[in-house]
Amino acid sequence: MLGLGREFYVWTLASFLRMLLLPTLNGSSQTIWQTKVAPDVQGRVFAARRLVAQVSAPVAMFLAGPLADQVFELGMMPAGNLASVFGWLVGTSQGAGLALMFVISGVLGMFVGLGAYAIRAVRCAEEILPDYDAKSSSEKSVQNQ
């Protein structure tokens, strides 16, 4: 929606809806991780998980500027090579290249989510993986002492 909108209220609505969904998605994910990972290793597991998740941000920032300026903005100008394909969708004026980047990243994100949902092991991870069992863990620590 963000890339397809051309007015402030559309951008506001798209941003609001995105932010409305984030706590639900993040909360659900965090709940699964906290019930499946033993507390004594949660710090290491969550740190590694956070590192993998956040390493993409600097890479994306490094690539986004040159892609926007040198590929998408130039390609979406009236005589650009992308304008004939995507001009009907996002226009051919200034900012159309960045709008196309938003649309493409949104569609790719949607496909990644749907693709992951199509994989049974990912879709049913909460049922497949056993919960961390505090009782058996405390019994193991008593046996180790």
Give pTM, 2 decimals. Answer: 0.75
Q: How confident is the model at residue 76 (pLDDT cuts 50, 70, 90)?
A: very high
- 145 has a pLDDT exceeding 90: no
- How far out from the chain centre does Cα 85 lie? 26
How many helices and strands, by DSSP H and E, does the chain display? 9, 0
* pLDDT score of 126: 87
Over residues 24-36, the pLDDT tens digits come to 988 988 999 999 9
Q: Are 100 and 80 in contact (CB under 8 A)?
A: no
**CA of 130: how far to CAs of 19, 20, 53, in Å?**
31, 30, 24
**Amino acid in the structure at residue 90:** V
* pLDDT score of 90: 92
Considering only CA atoms, give the Rg of the chain. Answer: 22
Over residues 40-65, the pLDDT tens digits come to 999 999 999 999 989 988 998 999 99
